[in-house]
Chain A
Amino acid sequence: MKLLLDSTRCQGYGLCQEPAPELIELDDWGYAQVRESAVPQDGEEAAAAAVAACPNSALRLVK
C-alpha cells in the first residue's frame, strides 16, 4: 500500500501524525510530510488511522 498526500489539501492540522508517527512527520510549519510513501505491512493500520484523522481528506491510502 502507498500513502499519498495531496499537498494542496494539507492545512497543517497535524492530526495525522499522532496515530502514525512512524509514517508521517510534521515540518517547521506543521505541514505533514510522508516519510516513505510505501507503507510496510505492519504500518497499514496506522496509515488508515492517519487518513481518517485528516479533517480535509488530504491523505489517501492506495494499492
Chain B
Amino acid sequence: MTGVFSLLPEGRPGLLDPLLSGARMPGGTEDISTYLAAGGYAPLTVTDRLLDRIAAAGLRGRGGAGFPAAVKLRAVRDAPGPPVVVANGEEGEPGSVKDRWLLRHRPHVVLDGIRLAAAMTGAERGFVYLSDAHAERAVCRALAECPPHLRIDVVRAEHTYVAGEETAVVRRIEGGPALPTAKPPRPFQSGVGGAPTLVANAETLARVAVMYSRPDAAAAIAGTHLVTLSGGDGAAALVEVPAGTHLKVLADLCGHGRAGAVLLGGLFGGLYGHGWTDLPLDHDRLNTAGAALGCGALHFLHPRDCPVAVATEAAAYLAAQSARQCGVCVAGTRALAGTLTAVARGEAGGDTADKLHRWSRQLPGRGACGLLDAAARVVGTLLAHFPDRVHAHSGSVCAACQGGTPEDGRRFTVPVP
C-alpha cells in the first residue's frame, strides 16, 4: 500500500488536505460541495492579478522540467490565435503517483486550474489528458457535477513512458498516436490544431487553483511539492512537503533512512550516492549537485540493493519504452542497456567504462523527447557515483545482480493510493 502524508506546517494549505482532514469524499473523490466549501471555483474577477501572483511566487511546472509557470502562461497568452489549455495527467514515470492521485481524488481542483489558466490566457477550449481509467471516471463525474464555462474534453491515451511528453500530448489530442514530435515548434507556439497550447501538469494547475482561492498563502503553495517516495522493501508514500526539505527527512518518513543511494526524478534525475542525505528538495540546488528533481519521484536504494542492478533495470525499461521513432534513441538505449547488462553479469570487456562514459556524454539532447537523456543520465551518474561498484563487477557477479533484468520497470512502479 502507498501511504499518504503531509509534512506541511500547521495551517499551510495543501493539496492533500481534504483527504487527510477526513472531509467527505464519497467513493474517495472530493465532491463539488466539499470543493466549493473550501473556496473553489471562486468568481473570475482578478485573473490578471493571479498571473502576477504566480510570477511573484515563482511557481514552477511540476511535470519534470520545472519551467516557470508564469512565463509559459504569458507565452501562450501572447501567441497569435485563440489558445487551448491542457491538463496533463499522464505521468509517464512509473515511480510517480501524484497526478493520478489528484485526478482520482480531487478532480475539481484540476478542473478549476484549467478554468483559471483559460481565463489568464484567453483560451476557450480545454482538455484533460490521462491514461488512468479510475481518474477518467472521476474527472467525467466532476464535469457532470459542475459543467464548466468552457468546453473541456477528456482525452485518453495508452500509458507509456513518453505519452505525457508535451508534443505527444498534442499529437494524441489531435487523434494521432501519443508519440513525441521534433521541436521546434513547441506546443506554446503551435499545438492542438495549430493553436498556441498550454500543456500544464495536473499538479501545476491544482496549485494555480489553490493560489487563487488562498491569495494569502500563494508563496507557500508555490513552494510546496507533492513527492512520491519508494524503494527496496520499504513502504511507498505520496507526501506533500515544503521545498528545501532534506531528502533524509523524506527517507526517514517511510523507513528508507539507511538507504545507500537514491534515484531521483523518477528515472530522469539519475543516481546519487554518498551525500544524498544532505540534498534539499529544490530544482536549482539539485541541478547544481548534478541531479534533477523531475516530477518529484524518489526511489531509495536499500543497502542491499546494487546500484549496477538498479541502473541496468532502469536502462532496460527505458530501452523497452523507446517510442522507436528516433534511430539514435533505439541504438543508444539498446547500447546502454545491453552494455550495463553485460556489466551486471560480469561479462563486460576492458573498454566498457570508456564506452559508457562516451555515450553518457554524447546522447543527451539527441532524441525528440527526454527518454534518451534519462537513460544517459542513469548511466553517467552510476559511473560518477559508483565507480568502485562498477569495477567490482568485472569478472564476477554480485548477489543482487544474479537475477535477470526485467524490462517492465516493476522495481520502480508505485501503486496509486
Contact = CB atoms under 8 A, between A and B. Distances in A.
B359 A12 contact: no
Contact of A27 (B325, B328, B367, B368): B328
B119 interface: no
A31 B182 contact: no
Interface residues of B, number: 19
Contacts of B22: none
B138 interface: no
Interface in A4-32: 4, 6-12, 27-29, 31
Contact of B362 (A8, A9, A12, A27): A27
Given A28-B335, A29-B332, A31-B331, A10 B326 contact: yes
A33 B327 contact: no
B368 A7 contact: yes
Given A6-B182, A8-B182, A27-B328, A33 B367 contact: no
A7 B331 CA distance: 12
Contact of B331 (A4, A9, A29, A33): A29
Contacts of A8: 180-182, 325-326, 368
A7 B366 contact: yes
Contact of B329 (A4, A7, A12): A7
Contacts of B358: 28
19 contacts: A7-B182, A7-B327, A7-B328, A7-B366, A8-B181, A8-B326, A8-B368, A10-B328, A11-B327, A27-B328, A27-B362, A27-B363, A28-B335, A28-B358, A28-B362, A29-B331, A29-B335, A31-B328, A33-B366
The 6 closest A-B pairs by CB, nearest first: A6-B182, A29-B331, A7-B326, A31-B328, A8-B325, A8-B368
Given A8-B368, A12-B331, A29-B331, 15 more contacts: A4-B182, A7-B328, A7-B329, A8-B180, A8-B182, A10-B326, A11-B327, A12-B327, A27-B362, A27-B363, A28-B358, A28-B362, A29-B327, A31-B327, A31-B366
